[in-house]
Amino acid sequence: MSWLPEDFVHPLHEPLVEGFHLRPIRAEDTEIDYPAVMGSRERLFEIFGPAWGWPAATMTIEADRADLARHEREAEAHQSFNYALLDSAETALFGCVYIDPPERAGADAEVSWWVVNERVGTGLEAALDAFVPRWIAERWPFGRPRLIGRDLSWAEWIALPAPEQPPAPE
């Protein structure tokens, strides 16, 4: 059973604030994703490292391209979603939003997001922080989304049990 209804169509472009929008990330975004991630790597690793081991200090541009290609395939297959936060011209990446099936019990989706170091504490970060929960509630078919790093800390999330799997048919 899929974690999304079969007829669900994921958003392809979401305006955020003037000059910025979200859209599914693509492998061709590597040239703007890599500097955004690696320029904020230490802070991002403090957030995501314990759970995902990402971003590794040794991540190469080729590894990033492979990771973005995987995200692109997963979005097309409705397995998970990575949205890039971009300027209007799509010449710079300012952060990402992740929407994933639950890895821990008690939710039907797990959502997290970040902005680059230069935008921490700015109006862009505040706009994203306000937008994501509303967007998930209004545009996505979830009844119990979990906002990791917001509803609970990453350490609390890691401590949660895995979701129960339905029994295998005999």
User: Do the Cβ atoms of 65 and 59 come closer than 8 Å?
Assistant: no
Q: Classify residue 107: in a domain, yes or no.
A: yes
Kindly state whether residue 164 falls inside one of the protein's structural domains: no
pTM of the model: 0.94
Residue-level pLDDT at 1: 45
Whether the CA torsion 135, 101, 8, 146 is positive or negative: it is negative
In a domain, 76, yes or no: yes
Look at residue 119 and tell me if it is in a domain: yes
Q: Crossing angle of helices 30-39/61-76, nearest 10°?
A: 110
Residue 34 counted as domain residue:
yes
Q: Which residues constitute the domain of residue 52?
A: 14-159
What per-residue confidence (pLDDT) applies to 168?
A: 56
Is omega for the bond preceding 55 within 30 degrees of 0, making it cis?
yes
Please check whether residue 167 lies inside any domain of the structure: no
CA 125 to chain centre: 14
Q: Is residue 130 part of a domain?
A: yes
Q: How many domains does the chain have?
A: 1
Identify residue 66 by its one-letter amino acid code: A
pLDDT in 10s for each residue of the chain, 170 residues: 479 999 999 999 999 999 999 999 999 999 999 999 999 999 999 999 999 999 999 999 999 999 999 999 999 999 999 999 999 999 999 999 999 999 999 999 999 999 999 999 999 999 999 999 999 999 999 999 999 999 999 999 999 998 776 555 56
- In angstroms, how far apart are the furthest CA atoms of the chain? 55
Q: What is the CATH number of the domain that holds 38?
A: 3.40.630.30
Distance between CA atoms of residues 24 and 64, nearest Å: 15
Find tokens 């129960």 and name the residue: 164
For residue 123, give Cα distances in angstroms to 19, 119, 152: 12, 8, 23
Structure tokens at 143: 């009844």
CA gap 6, 75 in Å, rounded: 14
Residue 168 lies in a domain: no
